[in-house]
Amino acid sequence: MLKSPSKTFFIKRILISLIFLYCAFILPWWLIIILGLALVFYFNNYYEFIVAGLILDSLYGNIVSIDKFYFLFTLITTIVTVFLINFKKKLLIR
């Protein structure tokens, strides 16, 4: 039977998520990606990384487009997040 996370864990996750999303506005994009990758490994199903991708697209996304697709950071963070979550689950199974 799986153990339910405590209330303090959820409060910690919310606070870290708010700080991470705030940092998406003030830190350089490469630092947000490194921080987001670390948080994907720390938390289970850390989909806030995708929201940070949307913020990065809002700030920097008009420069690059692929076939009229302007949300390049969102696409990359979505693919990386889903890949890392599945990779993390496979590592925990072994």
Tell me the pLDDT tens digit for each residue of 23-69.
888 888 789 889 988 988 888 888 888 888 777 777 776 555 566 66
Domains of the chain: total: 1
Asked, for residue 41, whether it belongs to a domain, the answer is yes
Asked, for residue 81, whether it belongs to a domain, the answer is yes
Compute CA distances 69 → 57, 75, 77, 83, whole Å: 11, 9, 15, 21
- More confident call, 21 vs 15: 15
Split at pLDDT 50, 70, 90, the class of 5 is confident
Domain that holds residue 72: 28-93
Asked, for residue 72, whether it belongs to a domain, the answer is yes
Contact 74, 54 (CB under 8 A): yes
As a whole number, the mean pLDDT across the chain is 79
Asked, for residue 6, whether it belongs to a domain, the answer is no
Tell me the pLDDT tens digit for each residue of 74-94.
777 788 888 887 888 777 776
